[in-house]
Amino acid sequence: MPNSPVCLDASFLLRLLLDDERGQADTLWETWHREERRLVAPTLLYYEVANALHRYAVRGDLAPSEAQALLDLALCLDVDVVSDGGLHRRALQLADALALPAAYDAHYLALAERLGAEFWTADTRLVLAVQDRLPWVHRLGEPLEL
């Protein structure tokens, strides 16, 4: 889907923010911007990013000031956030149909489905749960075909 939007989850964004070395998330991010593809996520994205950064700070992996700086950076990234009742309804349906343990991840799936977008995540568990039914779900670590 060369010109389709790209839906990103919090695990992808955290890899983009935290990887010390230039990694696959950086490569994809640059490619999508060069191709002028729209990057999207449900509003849940920033709740999850803030929570993960807080957990890193509590564990001592980041100083609280580093967590704050990374959140500020995340909030400045060019990602369109979407939220509406229809998205929540479809997420609940998908969570049930795919036997997901929670509906959080299903919001990303519902948005990607709605927009005909690729969905990118670093969440191996999620990819394994849906890969047979949703071929547009991709995991960081897969070989890139740019």
DSSP code for 117? -
**CA distances to 20, 82, 124 from 50, in Å:** 19, 17, 21
Q: What tens digit of pLDDT does each residue of 80-120 get?
A: 999 999 999 999 999 999 999 999 999 999 999 999 999 99
The domain that contains 118 carries what CATH number?
3.40.50.1010
Residue 2 has pLDDT above 80, yes or no: no
- Which domain covers residue 35, as residue numbers? 6-44+79-139
Residue 55 lies in a domain: no
Label residue 58 by pLDDT band (50, 70, 90).
very high
Residue 46: its pLDDT value, please?
97
Whether the predicted pLDDT of 24 surpasses 80: yes
Q: What are the start-end ranges of the E strands in the chain?
A: 6-8, 39-42, 80-82, 118-121, 137-139
Query: Which pLDDT score, from 0 to 100, does residue 146 have?
Result: 40
pLDDT of residue 144: 47
Average pLDDT, the chain: 93
Flag whether 49 is in a domain.
no
The dihedral of CA 13, 11, 89, 109: what is its sign? positive
Residue 96 lies in a domain: yes
Structural domain contains residue 146: no
Residue 71 lies in a domain: no
User: Is 23 among the domain residues?
Assistant: yes
Domains: count for the chain:
1
Neighbours of 99 (CB within 10 A): 8
